[in-house]
A = this chain, B = another copy of it.
């Protein structure tokens, strides 16, 4: 039993400790930090979080976060609308965008098939991807999901669903990280990167 000197503090700690990766001790530390900030700053903090959840919109096309009905990427005529990069969530869109190596569109699944977490194919946005591909306007679907069992399961499920459409399906290259020391690469990755070795001239970054 912890002795909280105030119900307000206890409530704030309860709320903060529900965030992922934050335990009760960390939540108390955050609450005491917030108590030391200016009132106006804390109000801005709390309100920005409430606004985030209550006012945000999603692109009706790719399910990415958007300020408009159709997001900036989907509505950009200079992007290649024949390519769709399938990602787990919004963070992955940002990660791929930051590489500046991709100029097609996205499709945000909003999750990944994970029986352990009780997430099945019906809970993520697979149907709308299949519909988009079935319009016949898509030439390639790039599966940019995590190289985990859940990611692989999701790729397998989606590729089966898309098989009849005849669309080209590709996945991200897997191998040793660029700049990484070989001795720190795990065995599975290293083994795969030997099996999937590429001719030297293809591997040079252009």
Contacts and interface: CB of A to CB of B under 8 A. Distances in A.
Q: Give the number of copies in the complex.
A: 2
A64 interface: yes
A30 B20 contact: yes
Contact of A46 (B21, B32, B50, B72): B50
Given A32-B91, A37-B53, A43-B54, 18 more contacts: A5-B64, A5-B65, A6-B67, A7-B67, A8-B56, A12-B52, A14-B48, A16-B49, A18-B45, A20-B29, A20-B33, A31-B49, A32-B89, A34-B49, A35-B52, A42-B52, A43-B53, A46-B47
Q: Which range holds the interface residue count of chain A?
A: 35 or more
6 contacts: A5-B64, A8-B67, A9-B65, A20-B29, A31-B52, A35-B65
A56 B98 contact: no
A66 interface: yes
Interface in A35-76: 35, 37, 39, 42-57, 64-67, 71-73
A109 interface: no
A19 B31 CA distance: 10
Contacts of A66: 5-6
